[in-house]
């Protein structure tokens, strides 16, 4: 409990996160946000009112005991704080960075009703960072009783990592199969270094390895090994599919085949996972230096793509979005950082056609001005074309960041059923697929969503898998 009276705690101003200056960070891929110092973290933690009903925890997809871990920070017990978090969230350093706290836990903070909410995400990151050396030197669990059951997890993204942590602590023999050469799924190929350093992902993977989770890379389930082979030939008792949403959506307009047009998936994978920004990198990527780049989309992936293009040397970067800033799904912090870095936002504009030169290289895009009409199925106002408002922007490179579809590699697996959007059909209560003993969660079920929602699905699936294994 904080020794500071309630009224005094309510007067403490929220501590902003320290960050690299915009003019410095546009020239590097180092992490933008720099984290809290000890005193900053304690003072921010003292703002917590320690609400008994903890609406912040209730709105967290994995139900972290937020007031309890914040109290530990106030007491100077940072290891105790991270241990509280680890009861429900095995990836605290990651979630502290990329979870949209402003629309989840922080949105329910009582302080936020009249002022600024407690910086829960920043405090979670602090707890994880301040204890990383201590965590690295210990076993996460020492008294786990083996169940004798084997579980295979497909994909090593956040859904599988969360599921694996819970299953391992339940005593099951857990192996994660990853198609790529690095573990972490979207955490390593989709989120840039300046927002989530890959060393952080590696640390959390090693923590799972200390827990007993095994990792196998360069294994494409559905190609290298089938689901049936895992069940029938490899002694696997249950399977979790967390393969994510790795199939990019495109605009479907003329000229999309021109040289110089990327999906956000391709660009970010080449830069993040394959280190295209390094001089010695052998990954083929266009030279962005001095080029004009346009990113189409309004989510976090669009922000990541635009800010990456800038760091790759682009002279001018546009973000083109068919609605207004109010409707953009991207985190507010990411939009602010993009604006600070000089990225220009073009709202209420939709692409009609990409135009190329005689060599087939992109040279411009034709846009149409839009206006907002009636709300659509998402609850946002539908963009409506303004006839006769077409105009053109010259550019060299375009990045399409309008979402992804579910990974298609498993569509031929016998027994699995898919929706019209090619996401997996699951029992909403158990997350079991139409194949007994095979469960799924995260983007492969919901389509592209947040890291923390995928983790919530992974934990839910772990409970169902454990019950299944107890019965079989």
Dump pLDDT digits (tens) for 316-335. 999 999 999 999 999 999 99
Q: In the chain, how many domains are there?
A: 3
Cα–Cα distance for residue pair 347/319, rounded to 1 Å: 8
pLDDT at position 195 over 80: yes
Lowest average pLDDT, out of 69-78, 270-279, 385-394, goes to 270-279
Task: Pick the closest to residue 221 from 166, 176, 273, 164 (CA basis).
Answer: 176
pLDDT at position 116 over 90: yes
Domain presence at residue 158: yes
Half-sphere exposure of 195 (CA within 13 A, CB side): 28
Domain with 428, as residue range(s), is 150-246+405-471
The dihedral over CA atoms of 165, 169, 170, 172, expressed in degrees to the nearest 10, equals 70
Question: Which of residues 136, 171, 200 is at a domain's end?
Answer: 136
Residue 111 shares a structural domain with residue 155: no
Residue 186 shares a structural domain with residue 282: no
What CATH number has the domain bearing residue 417? 3.50.50.60
Tell me the average pLDDT across 35-64.
94
Domain presence at residue 143: no
Residue 227 shares a structural domain with residue 339: no
DSSP 8-state assignment for residue 110: G
pLDDT at position 6 over 80: no
Domain presence at residue 144: no
Domain presence at residue 455: yes
The helices-and-strands tally (H runs, E runs) of the chain is 18, 17
pLDDT at position 278 over 90: no
pLDDT of 2? 57
Task: Quote the mean pLDDT of the chain.
Answer: 93
Higher pLDDT, 3 or 14: 14
Residue 14 shares a structural domain with residue 112: yes
Domain presence at residue 113: yes
- Percent of the chain whose pLDDT exceeds 70: 99
pLDDT at position 169 over 80: yes
pLDDT of 144? 85
Question: Which of residues 71, 106, 136 is at a domain's end?
Answer: 136
Domain presence at residue 142: no
Residue 91 shares a structural domain with residue 194: no
Task: Tokens for 351, please give them.
Answer: 């692409």
Residue 76 shares a structural domain with residue 106: yes
* Contact (Cβ atoms closer than 8 angstroms) between residue 280 and residue 317: no
Tell me the average pLDDT across 66-89.
95
Domain presence at residue 145: no
Higher pLDDT, 448 or 59: 59
Question: Which of residues 373, 400, 427 is at a domain's end?
Answer: 400
Residue 391 shares a structural domain with residue 431: no
Lowest average pLDDT, out of 2-16, 172-186, 232-246, 283-297, goes to 2-16
pLDDT at position 1 over 60: no
On the 0-12 / 13-18 / 19+ scale of CB atoms within 10 A, 51 is middle
Domain presence at residue 409: yes
Report the SS3 class of residue 113. Answer: helix
* Contact (Cβ atoms closer than 8 angstroms) between residue 118 and residue 111: yes
* Contact (Cβ atoms closer than 8 angstroms) between residue 36 and residue 96: no
Residue 331 shares a structural domain with residue 409: no
What CATH number has the domain bearing residue 17? 1.10.1060.10
Residue 409 shares a structural domain with residue 383: no
Tell me the average pLDDT across 130-156.
85
Residue 169 shares a structural domain with residue 226: yes
Residue 240 shares a structural domain with residue 154: yes
| pTM higher than 0.75 | yes
Task: Tokens for 373, please give them.
Answer: 């009409």
pLDDT of 251? 96
Task: Pick the closest to residue 225 from 261, 175, 280, 162 (CA basis).
Answer: 175
Residue 321 shares a structural domain with residue 388: yes
Higher pLDDT, 113 or 466: 466
On the 0-12 / 13-18 / 19+ scale of CB atoms within 10 A, 285 is middle
């Amino acid at each position: 409990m904080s020794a500071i009276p309630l009224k005094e705690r309510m007067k403490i101003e929220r501590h902003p996160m320290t960050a690299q200056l915009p003019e410095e960070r546009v020239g590097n891929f180092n992490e933008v946000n720099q984290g809290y110092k000890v005193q900053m973290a304690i003072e921010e933690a003292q703002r917590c009112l320690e609400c008994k009903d903890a609406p912040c925890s209730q709105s967290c997809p994995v139900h972290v005991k937020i007031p309890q871990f914040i109290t530990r920070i106030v007491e100077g017990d940072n290891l105790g704080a991270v241990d509280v978090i680890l009861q429900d969230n095995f990836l605290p350093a990651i979630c502290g960075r990329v979870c949209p706290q402003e629309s989840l836990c922080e949105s329910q903070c009582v302080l936020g009703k009249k002022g600024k909410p407690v910086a829960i995400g920043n405090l979670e990151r602090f707890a994880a960072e301040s204890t990383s050396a201590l965590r690295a030197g210990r076993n996460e669990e020492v008294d786990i009783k083996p169940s004798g059951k084997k579980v295979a997890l497909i994909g090593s993204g956040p859904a599988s990592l969360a599921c694996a942590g819970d299953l391992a602590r339940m005593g099951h023999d857990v192996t994660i199969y990853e198609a790529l050469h690095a573990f972490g799924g979207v955490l390593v190929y989709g989120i840039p270094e300046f927002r989530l350093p890959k060393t952080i992902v590696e640390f959390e993977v090693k923590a799972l390895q200390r827990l007993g989770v095994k990792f196998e890379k360069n294994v494409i389930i559905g190609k290298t090994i089938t689901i049936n082979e895992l069940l029938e030939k490899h002694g696997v008792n249950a399977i979790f599919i967390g393969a994510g949403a790795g199939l990019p959506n495109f605009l479907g307009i003329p000229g999309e085949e021109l040289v110089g047009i990327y999906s956000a998936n391709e660009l970010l994978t080449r830069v993040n996972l394959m280190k295209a920004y390094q001089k010695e990198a052998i990954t083929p990527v266009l030279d962005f230096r001095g080029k004009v780049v346009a990113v189409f989309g309004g989510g976090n992936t669009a922000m990541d793509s635009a800010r990456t293009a800038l760091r790759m040397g682009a002279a001018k970067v546009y973000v083109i979005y068919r609605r207004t800033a109010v409707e953009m799904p991207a985190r507010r912090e990411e939009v602010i950082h993009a604006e600070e870095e000089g990225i220009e936002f073009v709202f209420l504009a939709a692409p009609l056609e990409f135009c190329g030169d005689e060599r087939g290289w992109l040279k411009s895009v034709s846009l149409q001005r839009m206006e907002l009409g009636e709300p659509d199925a998402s609850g946002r106002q539908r963009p409506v074309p303004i006839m006769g408002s077409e105009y053109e922007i010259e550019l060299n490179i375009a990045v399409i960041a309008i979402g992804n579809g579910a990974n298609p590699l498993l569509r031929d697996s016998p027994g699995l059923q898919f929706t019209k959007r090619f996401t997996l059909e699951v029992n909403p209560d158990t997350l079991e697929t139409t194949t007994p003993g095979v469960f799924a969660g995260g983007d492969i079920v919901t389509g592209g969503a947040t890291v923390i929602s995928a983790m919530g699905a992974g934990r839910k699936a772990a409970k169902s898998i454990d019950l299944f294994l107890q019965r079989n």
